[in-house]
Amino acid sequence: MKKASFIAVATAATFIATAATAATLDDVKAKGFIQCGVTTGLAGFAAPNNEGKWEGFDVDFCRAMSAAIFGDPDKVKYTPTTAKERFTALQSAEIDVLARNTTWTFSRDVNLGFEFVGVNYYDGQGFMVKKALGVKSALELSGARVCVQSGTTTELNLADYFTANGMKYDSVVFDTADEVREAYLKDTCDVYTTDQSGLYAQRSVIADPEAHIVLPEVISKEPLGPLVRHGDNQWGDIARWTLNAMIEAEELNVSSANVDDLKANTKNPGIQRMLGTSGDLGQQLGLSNDWAYNIIKNVGNYGESFARNLGEGTALNIARGLNAQWNKGGILYAPPLR
């Protein structure tokens, strides 16, 4: 009797767990789109263009997930969120995934009940000042008024850095990055601090970007990446391997330009598995076997997305740096698709 009861409970638990893990993918398929949380607007990462269409590095991740699931990169609706709003939106299931230059930390991963699916941009906090201020180092900023965005890791890093170096400062806090930038330009503060990628993004939309410099100090580790809710392993896997497929595709030199030729002609077993001409990786995710092909064909690999939105030749002009592939001087690395 006890054995029968145990088996019944175990079977019920397995059924509940299976239902839970399938919930988000089923919901997304039923409504026909992914609801993706993004920033309220950050050049290069996520912002509407002149036609009102969202574009950017984080937007490309949302589009890649859509391509993996639907074979169409445009089955996405975007929810702009402030730093304060973003976690509530994900917890409440207002959004299905958050792709919003968010730092992976212990408390966010464990205490808030989120699952970071990987790092799509290795960053660090820095400082921007006007050249006219005559400052060359962050160690010269004692007594400065510092503009900072609320609800971010930036506030704590700022306090830690100034305390550790025996300096004083006054923080001037705003809810959105645009508010911080405008306050900085109006001399409400002397210094703008956020992740360095954000500083380059904000400087790119200032009328005279050359009048502003990003100081050399990087005062924190800011591994940025997409995240989903805990408890839905299948959905987490789809998000994780969407990112990994883009990274791996760049390493294997598979791009939107050559993916059709490689799908038809490659003899490389790793590329064959990725593009779905052998193996069953897509089926293991609950997707079609050409899921990664659809990502690369419609959105491109990691390097294509970086170059299009952030890289040299764009307004941000950010070098790959740490975000180069592991075999090209960076630390970008994806587990093998096998």
Which has the closest alpha carbon to 99: 226, 229, 201, 230? 226
* One domain, residues 49 and 69: yes
Which residue carries 């958050």 as its tokens? Answer: 98
Task: Please indicate, yes or no, whether residues 41 and 105 belong to a single structural domain of this protein.
Answer: yes
Q: Are residues 136 and 277 in the same domain?
A: no
Same domain for 93 and 138, yes or no, is no
- Chain segment 111-148, per-residue pLDDT in tens: 999 999 999 999 999 999 999 999 999 999 999 999 99
Domain of residue 203: give its range.
Answer: 122-222
Considering the domain boundaries, does residue 322 fall inside one?
A: no
Region of residue 215 (phi > 0: left; psi between -120 and 50: alpha; otherwise: beta)? beta
What average pLDDT does the segment 76-101 reach? 96
The CATH number that applies at residue 126 is: 3.40.190.10
Name residue, tokens 């025996």.
166
Cβ atoms of 185 and 130 closer than 8 Å: no
Say if 10 falls within a structural domain.
no
User: Cβ-count burial of 133 within 10 angstroms (0-12 exposed, 13-18 middle, 19+ buried)?
Assistant: middle
Residues 212 and 273 placed together within one structural domain of the fold: no
Report the interhelical angle of 2-31 vs 57-70 (nearest 10°).
110
Q: Are residues 152 and 218 in the same domain?
A: yes
Mean pLDDT of the chain: 92
Assess whether pLDDT exceeds 90 at residue 6: no
Query: Is residue 274 in some structural domain?
Result: yes
Measure the CA angle with vertex 193, ends 192 and 199; round to 5°.
80
The residue among 173, 202, 222 that closes a domain is 222
- Does residue 104 sit in the same domain as residue 233? yes
Q: Is residue 65 part of a domain?
A: yes
Task: Report yes or no on whether pTM surpasses 0.85.
Answer: yes
- pLDDT score for 277: 97
Write the pLDDT tens digit of every residue in 296-332. Answer: 999 999 999 999 999 999 999 999 999 999 999 999 9
Please state the φ and ψ torsions of residue 288, each to the nearest 5 degrees. -70, 160
Exposure on the CB side of residue 33, measured as CA atoms within 13 A: 10
Q: Are residues 209 and 267 in the same domain?
A: no
Given 174, 194, 222, the domain boundary residue is 222
pLDDT at 134: 96
Rama region for 237: left / alpha / beta (φ>0; ψ in -120 to 50; rest):
alpha
* Complete DSSP assignment for 304-328: HHHHHHTSBTBSS----GGGSBGGG
Same domain, 31 and 61: yes
Give residue-wise pLDDT tens across range 245-262: 999 999 999 999 999 999
3-state helix, strand, coil in the chain (%, to 5): 45, 20, 35
Question: How far is 38 from 247, CA to CA, in rounded Å?
Answer: 21
Classify residue 147: in a domain, yes or no: yes
- In total, how many domains does the chain have? 2
* Domain boundary pick from 222, 244, 273: 222
CB 151 within 8 A of CB 83: yes
* 202 shares a domain with 155: yes
User: In this predicted structure, which of 1-15, 104-118, 262-276 has the lowest mean pLDDT?
Assistant: 1-15
Reported confidence tier of residue 151, pLDDT bands at 50, 70, 90: confident
- Whether 193 and 237 share a structural domain: no
158 and 283 assigned to the same domain = no
Residue 2 lies in a domain: no
Give the gyration radius of the chain's Cα atoms: 22
Kindly state whether residue 334 falls inside one of the protein's structural domains: no
Query: If you count them, how many residues does the chain have?
Result: 338
* Residue 298 Cα to chain centre, angstroms: 18
